[in-house]
Amino acid sequence: MKISSEHFGFLPDGNEALLYTLENENGLIVKITNYGGTILSFIVPDKSGTPADVVLGMRTWAEWIENPYYFNCIVGRTCNRIADARFSIDGIEYNVSANHGKFQLHGGFKGFHQKLWKAEPVELLDEVCLELEYLSVDGEEGFPGNILIKAIYSLNNKNEFGISFIATTDKATPVNLTNHAYFNLSGEGSGDIYSHELLLFADTFTVTDSNSIPTGEFASVTGTPFDFTQPHEIGERILDLYKGYDNNFVLRNQSGNLMLAAQVYDSESGRELAVYTTEPGVQLYTSNWFDGSLKGKSGKPHLQHSAFCLETQHFPDSMNHPEFPTVILRPGDQYKSKTVWKFSNRN
């Protein structure tokens, strides 16, 4: 295993972004920039040993700076949605930036995905790591408190790619971090993900309104297009929904321990992705709003349903729903989250 670095690009303020390459002995190659903690490519061999890039993305540095669809980056201070872009903590109301109509999405106008993180490569006996660090100051995008975040990406020879988050704060504040990776296990630019088989370890989901904001109600997946308790092709019932899937599933595991949350299998390539997480929820998103106006790394347009996301997370808008697992981090406490993507092949 090895990790290396090189120049990637300069930001408008003159700061340099670097590109880090993590490789294991099985042909997995992951390229990550410290701009947004963004995964630019993720090379995985298929059942015949042929490699392909299984995450979508942009072609040029200038396009990565904008990253309009949050491709494969760290999103925060809170991922997903905050209703009316406001919440209260201990009786104090905070108004955060409303970057998506009346609500906030994925951290605001300039979230963590558009920040330059401090980076340090680390080589250990059984894995290579990229440690990233960012200080989000009090008032950034309207959030209270100075919060120090560490994100650790790791790769080992078991074909496991880990994402760990650790955070501390000096004032009570919401924290809900994830990586917004867009996967296509057949390879970037290969078409839609309708034939990908998905298994989710979730029996309920959070009901949402027309803006995808949770109402506070939980509903059973039984008898609905959201039932992936047995493997189903993603495309099997996707046309029964408006645009596609963009829903938070309540995982059976609410213990905070690292457990299996989802499995996705692509029969064409033989690739299988298993997602393990300590998080209580996972957002399934099927690139519903891709309209072909942007081109991907292969030069082909990003089209609707050409990728899926499994964003491990606390539930959306949790700071406004006391019935949800809390996302409020307080001074003296530590936020911890871990997700592992494990790749394998079926012959």
Q: What is the 3-state secondary structure (H, E, C) of 322-337?
A: CCCCCCEECCCCCEEE
Q: Which amino acid is it at 275? A: V
pLDDT at residue number 200: 98
pLDDT of residue 137: 98
| pLDDT at 196 (0 to 100) | 98
N- to C-terminal Cα separation, the chain: 25
| Torsion sign, CA atoms 155, 157, 159, 162 | negative
Question: Is 268 annotated as catalytic?
Answer: no
Cα-flanking dihedrals φ and ψ of residue 83, to 5°? Answer: -60, 135
Summarised one tens digit per residue, pLDDT across range 259-284 is: 999 999 999 999 999 999 999 999 99
Q: Taken in order 224, 345, 308, 310, is the CA torsion positive or negative?
A: positive
Q: For position 163, what pLDDT does the model report?
A: 98
Q: Assess whether 7 carries a catalytic annotation.
A: no
Would you say 7 and 20 are in contact if contact means Cβ atoms under 8 Å apart?
Answer: no
Q: What integer pLDDT is reported at residue 165 of this predicted model?
A: 98
pLDDT at 106: 98
Tokens of 144: 């209270």
User: What's the confidence (pLDDT) of residue 347?
Assistant: 80
2-345 is classed CATH 3.90.1640.30: no
Query: Looking at 127, 140, 279, 311, which residue is catalytic?
Result: 311
d(CA 325, CA 214): 13
pLDDT of residue 307: 98
Q: What is the largest CA-CA distance in the chain?
A: 59
Q: Tokens in use for 62?
A: 């200038």
Specify the 3-state DSSP secondary structure of 3. strand
Look at the alpha carbons of 289, 325, 215, 106 in this order and tell me if their dihedral is positive or negative. negative
Distance CA 284, CA 209 (A): 16
Taking CA atoms, 131 is separated from 74, 149, 266, 286, in Å, by 13, 11, 31, 29
**Helical (H) or strand (E) element with 64:** helix 61-66
Catalytically annotated residue among 180, 302, 305, 314: 180
Low-confidence ranges of the chain (pLDDT < 50): none
Which residues touch 266 (CB under 8 Å, ≥6 apart)?
Answer: 185, 186, 195, 196, 197, 272
Distances (CA, A) of 343 to 30, 245, 284: 13, 23, 18
Phi, psi of 65 (to 5 degrees): -60, -40
Task: Provide the residue ranges of all domains of the chain, joining segments of one domain with +.
Answer: 2-345
Q: What angle do CA 279, 282, 288 make, to 5 degrees?
A: 155
